[in-house]
Chains A and B, each alone.
Chain A
Amino acid sequence: MTLEELRNRMKAARVEIAENRLEVVRRLLTDALRPIQAMDSRAHRPLEPAVTFDAVRSRGDRGQ
């Protein structure tokens, strides 16, 4: 991630970070996003982050 991309993301998210800390944040995000940017999403099983129901748990309390 470049500093320019970081600034663009900040603008889109409406957040401000001190100029002298941008490089630290850039490195933090670069490390966090490296595996994501390296992945080929087509090669992964679909993951559906949706509600699932457990027959046992949904009796008497919450279904989750």
Chain B
Amino acid sequence: MASEELFYATIRDVGARLRRRAISPVELTRAHLERIERLDPKLHAFVTVTADRALADAKGAEAALGRGDISSPLLGIPIGYKDIYATRGILTTGGSALLADWIPDEDSTCVTRLQRAGAVMLGKLITHEFAFGIQFPGHRYPPARNPWDLERMPGGSSSGSGAALAAGMAFVTLGSDTGGSIRGPASFCGIAGLKPTYGRCSRTGVLTLSWTLDHTGPMARTVEDCAYLLQALAGYDATDPASSREPVPDYVAPLGRGVRGLRVGVVREYFFEGIDPEVEKAFEQALATLRQLGASVEDVQIASIQSSGAFMAILLAEAFAYHERDLRERPELFGELLRERMLAGALITGSEYVQAQRLRARLQSDMGAALKRVDVLATPTSPKPAPTFATVYDPEYGFPRSNTGPFNMTGLPALAVPCGFTASGLPISIQITGRPFDETTVLRVGHTYEQATDWHKRHPAL
């Protein structure tokens, strides 16, 4: 069996080993497949393990290395895809009984780009049902478990993507984020996750939850690894109507420029309501670290921040619109929780939906104004650490307050980075948000903070 350290290496480290032939892509892939076989029965991160495909990809990477082709940093890197990304010839369920047998004819654009970059497809990762409904007991697809505490949720909806990374079962993964589904699992699992600017990464071939809020993006154990993934993912896609032609900069090279002189704005209103004291303490300590690193930190106000909750009205209405036919004709194929959430979308009036979009425009304007005064915004990613399954299965449990949803409303790039642990050993995370298409600064702040701390070097005992 390979050493534990191998499974928590970075793309830069393992890439160097691959290029100097200290390990081969096939050896790396076999080690991951063995680890998945050993650990996943208790973590449930994977819906489908594509062992044959992974070995074929790895052999292809090995041949490319043999030819001296070292142009892509993702060559030979094991990856897992959230099971809402279409994969040609490979089961893609969306965590739903409706798609239990769906084998797509095409890859999603993101999968195409990463596979072209030489990534090795390990398999498909469990998602909340249609990226929105927590699986109750008895669900066709059991929920992933948090590697830090198996009785707790790894977050959602990119639950398998977060759990697989924390457990060292994949080097990088893809998630999707409509209200925080990349950043929430990143927060609960002690990893990094980036929701890029709306339009930065294609959604073609990714199951829709809410057209105007859906984002695709990278998840990894380090910010630099997120940057490597974003580099391969970003760019115009004519098949996604929201895709942007904004030029794609170099995301990796500027990471080491530090934060000296950058202005960090802290939004106190809204994001600290109901916050866990341990989360607040870790967040304040993270701000102190950023100050020590040379950033200036100041409080900023966003006048309409309390209107952020309207994002749920948009999400519910759009989700119902997308799934209405199936909800009316085959309701029994939806999980109980998802069905009731989506049906709630039918109860939002046309006027309310439009007013929610108007509130969104104001929030975008106010956040844009704040980001003229500072370079990035900082907030806790989640006001509380990961909840237990028992908590979320309680019939009275409601949809939690979201510190991530406001940035789906505004489409701004937002990164979750580990910033501490609770006394009971649960990860805590800071969220860094930037101007439209300024992922470079967001990643730079996250990377600089991460490299000054060792939270990302801690791994769960499995």
Contact = CB atoms under 8 A, between A and B. Distances in A.
* Binding between chains A and B: yes
A13 B316 CA distance: 14
B241 interface: yes
B241 A62 contact: yes
Contact of B313 (A14, A25, A27, A33): A33
B231 interface: no
B346 interface: yes
Contact of B312 (A21, A28, A56): A28
A18 interface: yes
A31 B358 contact: no
A61 B238 contact: yes
A24 B314 CA distance: 18
B241 A29 contact: no
Given A15-B346, A33-B348, A21 B361 contact: no
Nearest to A45: B361
The B interface, classified by DSSP as helix, strand, loop or mixed, is: helix
A39 B307 contact: yes
Contacts of A57: 245
Contacts of B341: 28
B292 interface: no
Given A6-B347, A28-B312, A35 B359 contact: yes
Interface residues of B, number: 34
A47 B357 contact: yes
B340 interface: yes
B309 interface: yes
A55 B196 CA distance: 25
Interface string B44-86: 0000000000000000000000000000000000000000000
B322 to A, nearest CB: 15
B340 A25 contact: yes
Interface stretch (B157-165, B183-191, B279-287, B392-400): B392-400
Contacts of A61: 238
A28 B346 contact: no
Contact of A39 (B312, B348, B359, B398): B359
Which of A29, A45, A56 has the most CB atoms of chain B within a 10 A radius of its CB?
A: A29
Given A15-B346, A35-B308, A24 B395 contact: yes
Nearest to A44: B358
Which of B245, B354, B398 has the most CB atoms of chain A within a 10 A radius of its CB?
A: B398
A35 B357 CA distance: 11
Contacts of B343: 15-17, 25
A44 B361 CA distance: 9
Contact of A28 (B245, B306, B398): B398
Contacts of B398: 24, 27-28, 31
Given A35-B306, A35-B310, A49 B357 contact: yes
Interface of A: 6, 9-10, 13-18, 20-21, 23-25, 27-29, 31-36, 38-39, 41, 44-45, 47, 49, 56-57, 61-62, 64
Interface pairs A-B: 10 shortest CB-CB? A32-B312, A35-B307, A13-B346, A9-B347, A32-B313, A35-B310, A47-B358, A36-B355, A15-B343, A15-B346
Interface of B: 238, 241, 245, 306-310, 312-313, 316, 327, 336, 340-341, 343-344, 346-348, 352, 354-359, 361-362, 395-399
Given A25-B340, A36-B313, A39-B355, 9 more contacts: A17-B340, A20-B395, A21-B340, A25-B347, A28-B341, A29-B348, A31-B398, A36-B359, A39-B359
9 contacts: A6-B347, A9-B347, A25-B344, A28-B341, A28-B399, A44-B358, A47-B361, A57-B245, A62-B238
